Amino acid sequence: GKSRIVSLFQKIIPEKLFFQKLHKSLQKKFLHNFPLLSDPHQAHRSRFRLSQIIDSYMVRGILLFFFLTVLVCASLFVILTLFDLTDDIARNRVPWSNVVAYLWYLLPQIIVFILPICTLVAILVHFSILEKSRQIVAFKAGGVSQFRLAIPALLLAAIFSALNFYL
C-alpha cells in the first residue's frame, strides 16, 4: 500500500515541478504586458491614476465653461452699466479715462455678483454636455459612480464660494 503511494507521489512531484516551472516562464513572458495581473499594488496605483485623470478632465471642463461664463456675464454687466451711465457721462463731459477707471474699480463688485451664477451655469453646462455625449453612461459602465464624478464639481464650487466670501 505504502509503496504504491510513494510511487504515485514520485510521479506527481516531477509533474508538479514541471507545471510550476511552466507557470513561472509564462509569467515572465506574458505578464510583463499585464502589470495589473502580476502586481496587486500596481492595480491600486492605476485606479488612483485613473481617478486623477477623471478629476482633471472634470475640472478642466468646468473651468473652461466657468471662465467663459464669467467673461460673458462681466462683459454684459459692464456694457449695461456703461449704457446706464451714458447720459451722465455726456451731460457732465466726463473723460473716458475716468469712465474706464470707474469700470475697472467696479470689476471686483461685478465678480462678486456674478461668481455664484457663473459657477452654477458652468457646472450645469458641463454635466449636460457630458450627458448629451453619453460620457456619463460610459463612466458608469467603467465603474465610476455619478457621485465620484460630482466630487470635482463640489470642490470647485467650495473654492469659488470661499473666493466669493474673500472678495
Sign of CA dihedral 114, 116, 122, 124: negative
Looking at residue 73, the DSSP 8-state letter turns out to be H
C-alpha separations of 44 from 22, 50, 92 in Å: 28, 10, 69
Please tell me whether the overall predicted TM-score, pTM, comes out greater than 0.75 for this model.
Answer: no
Looking at residue 145, the DSSP 8-state letter turns out to be -
Q: Which tens digit of pLDDT belongs to each residue from 22-32?
A: 556 656 655 55
Q: Which tens digit of pLDDT belongs to each residue from 71-85?
A: 999 999 999 999 999
Q: Is the pLDDT of residue 117 over 80?
A: yes
- Please name the residue ranges forming H helices in 31-39: 35-38
Write down the pLDDT at residue 72. 96
